[in-house]
C-alpha cells in the first residue's frame, strides 16, 4: 500500500485538512493525506482532533510513522469502531503546540550555526529544546549563546526547503551535523533546510519561514554530559509575546 501523503511537508502552516480514511485498526488510523507530523528528528508527533461527517470529534493523542510501511499512524485515546475505510474526515491540528515546535526546531538550526560542531543528540517540546555537542574546550557561555541566537532571530532570515539529489552527501558529508543519525536515503531526493547564509542541513521536520517568527529565546542551561559531550538547553523568552500566524 502506498505511503500517506504528507501535506505537513508541503505547507507546515495548514491547520485543517479534509481527507479520507484508508485503514482503521483498534486505536490507530491511516489516512490518505495528513497535516499531522509524525515523531522524528527530535520533533514530537502532532496532536489534535478528527471530525467525522456524522459530527463525532475524536482526539488524536500522538502521530508516528510505521517503520515497515512508511505510512503515518494517528493514535486515538480510545479505540474507534465508528470509522471505516473511505470515510471522509476533517483534521484539526493543535496549532499552538505545533507552531511552538516549528519555532523551536528552527532555533535549533540556528544553534548549529552558533556552535559549528558535531551534534551528538537532541530533542524538543513546545516549551524548550536541547542539542548535545561534541566539544573539547569547556562549556560555552550562556549569555554569549543567547545574544548570538537572538541576533540571528532579529535579522528575520528566510528559511527555505530544498529537494536535492541525495548524492550531495557523497560530495559534502559535512552537511550532516548529527554523529549518530544519518538522514534516510534511497528515494533519490534529500530534503534540505536552508537558513539564509547561516545553516544548511538535511531535515524532515517542520519550520517557520522566517527566523523572526521564533521570538526571543534564552539559553537556560549549559552542562557537561561527558568528557566531550556538552548539552545546551534553550527556552522561549517570557517576553517574546509572538502571535501565531
d(C-alpha 202, C-alpha 160), whole Å: 12
Mean pLDDT for 204-231 is 94
The cell 544553534 sits on which residue? 111
For the chain, how many residues are written? 245
- Give pLDDT, residue 242: 47
Mean pLDDT for 22-44 is 93
- Give pLDDT, residue 1: 40
Is the domain of 132 the same as that of 212? yes
Question: 72-86, 170-184, 196-210: which range is least confident on average?
Answer: 170-184
Within-domain flag for 245: no
- Give pLDDT, residue 240: 46
- Give pLDDT, residue 239: 53
Helix (H) / strand (E) element for 178: namely none
Alpha-carbon radius of gyration of the chain: 19
pLDDT-derived band at 171 (thresholds 50, 70, 90) equals confident
DSSP state of 206: -
Residues in a beta bridge with 191: 163
Is the domain of 127 the same as that of 36? no
Pairing mode, if any, of strands 128-134 and 229-236?
antiparallel
**Cα dihedral sign, 185-63-126-51:** positive
List, in sequence order, the alpha helices (H) in the chain: 7-10, 95-114, 142-154, 168-171
- Give pLDDT, residue 244: 47
First to last CA, the chain: 36
Is the domain of 169 the same as that of 85? no
DSSP 3-state assignment of 46? coil
- Give pLDDT, residue 189: 86
- The half-sphere exposure of 74 on its side-chain side, counting CA atoms within 13 A, is 30
DSSP state of 214: G
Residues in a beta bridge with 64: 73
- Give pLDDT, residue 78: 76
Mean pLDDT for 197-225 is 96
In the chain, how many domains are there?
A: 2
- Higher-pLDDT residue of 91, 190: 91
- Give pLDDT, residue 34: 97
Is the domain of 106 the same as that of 48? no
End residue of a domain, out of 62, 93, 124: 93
Report the percent of the chain where pLDDT is more than 70: 91
- Residue 104 pLDDT exceeds 90: yes
- Give pLDDT, residue 17: 97
- Residue 199 pLDDT exceeds 90: yes
CATH of the domain at 124: 3.30.980.10
Express each pLDDT in 114-147 by its tens digit: 999 999 999 999 999 999 999 988 899 999 999 9
| Mean pLDDT estimate for the chain | 90
Is the domain of 10 the same as that of 102? no
- Residue 3 pLDDT exceeds 80: no
Which residues constitute the domain of residue 199?
98-236
Contact 106, 149 (CB under 8 A): no
Nearest to 66 by CA among 93, 39, 35, 94: 39
DSSP state of 123: E
- Higher-pLDDT residue of 136, 29: 29
Contact 99, 242 (CB under 8 A): no
d(C-alpha 210, C-alpha 222), whole Å: 26
- Higher-pLDDT residue of 117, 178: 117
Amino acid at each position: 500500500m502506498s505511503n500517506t501523503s504528507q501535506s505537513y511537508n508541503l505547507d507546515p502552516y495548514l491547520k485543517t485538512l479534509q481527507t479520507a480514511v484508508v485503514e482503521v485498526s483498534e486505536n490507530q488510523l491511516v489516512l490518505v493525506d495528513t497535516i499531522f507530523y509524525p515523531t522524528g528528528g527530535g520533533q514530537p508527533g502532532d496532536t489534535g482532533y478528527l471530525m467525522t461527517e456524522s459530527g463525532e470529534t475524536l482526539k488524536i493523542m500522538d502521530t508516528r510513522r510505521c517503520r515497515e510501511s512508511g505510512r503515518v499512524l494517528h493514535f486515538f485515546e480510545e479505540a474507534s469502531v465508528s470509522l471505516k475505510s473511505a470515510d471522509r474526515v476533517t483534521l484539526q491540528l493543535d496549532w499552538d503546540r505545533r507552531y511552538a515546535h516549528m519555532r523551536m526546531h528552527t532555533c535549533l538550526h540556528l544553534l548549529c550555526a552558533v556552535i559549528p560542531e558535531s551534534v551528538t543528540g537532541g530533542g524538543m517540546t513546545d516549551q524548550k529544546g536541547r542539542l548535545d555537542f561534541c566539544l573539547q574546550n569547556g562549556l560555552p557561555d550562556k549569555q554569549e549563546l543567547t545574544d548570538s541566537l537572538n541576533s540571528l532571530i532579529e535579522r528575520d532570515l528566510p528559511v527555505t526547503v530544498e529537494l536535492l539529489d541525495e548524492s550531495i552527501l557523497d560530495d559534502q558529508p559535512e552537511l550532516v551535523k548529527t554523529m549518530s543519525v544519518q538522514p534516510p536515503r534511497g528515494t533519490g531526493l534529500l530534503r534540505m533546510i536552508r537558513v539564509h547564509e547561516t545553516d544548511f542541513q538535511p531535515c524532515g521536520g517542520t519550520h517557520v519561514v522566517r527566523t523572526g517568527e521564533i521570538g526571543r529565546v534564552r539559553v537556560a542551561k549549559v552542562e557537561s554530559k561527558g568528557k566531550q559531550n556538552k548539552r545546551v538547553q534553550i527556552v522561549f523568552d517570557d517576553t517574546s509575546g509572538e502571535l501565531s500566524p
